[in-house]
Amino acid sequence: MARRFSIRKYLQDYSSLYVFIAVLFVMGVAFGAVMVNALSLDQKQEMLQQLGAFFYSLTDHNDFSGQSSFIDSLWLNLKWILLIWLLGLSVIGLPLIFVLDFLKGVLIGFTVGYLVGQFSWEGVLFSLVSVAPQNLLIIPLILIASVTAASFSIAMVKSQFMRGNYKQGQMVQALMRTIVITLGVCVIIVGVSAYEGYISPYLMQWVTPTVPSI
HEC letters along 128-191: HHHCHHHHHHHHHHHHHHHHHHHHHHHHHHHHHHCCCCCCHHHHHHHHHHHHHHHHHHHHHHHH
Pick left, alpha or beta for residue 120 (phi over 0 → left; psi -120 to 50 → alpha; otherwise beta).
left
- Distance set, CA 170 to CA 5, 19, 90, 106, 185 (Å): 12, 24, 17, 36, 22
Q: Determine the pLDDT at residue 163.
A: 58
Q: Are 48 and 114 in contact (CB under 8 A)?
A: no
pLDDT in tens, 169-186: 677 888 888 999 999 999
CA 155 remoteness from chain centre: 24
Q: Identify the weakest region by mean pLDDT among 54-58, 63-67, 87-91, 185-189.
A: 63-67
The dihedral formed by the CA atoms of 113, 141, 129 and 110, expressed in degrees to the nearest 10: 10
Between 54 and 79, the higher pLDDT residue: 79
Between 159 and 29, the higher pLDDT residue: 29
Query: Is residue 113 pLDDT above 50, yes or no?
Result: yes
Please state the domain extents for the chain.
Answer: 7-37+67-210
Q: Are 151 and 174 in contact (CB under 8 A)?
A: yes
Closest by Cα among 201, 204, 193, 203 to 70: 193
What CA–CA distance (Å, rounded) separates 72 from 59? 19
**Which residue type does 79 have?**
K
The mean pLDDT of 139-161, rounded to a whole number, is 88
The mean pLDDT of 151-159, rounded to a whole number, is 84
pLDDT in tens, 82-102: 999 999 988 788 999 999 999
What CA–CA distance (Å, rounded) separates 152 from 146? 10
pTM of the model: 0.85
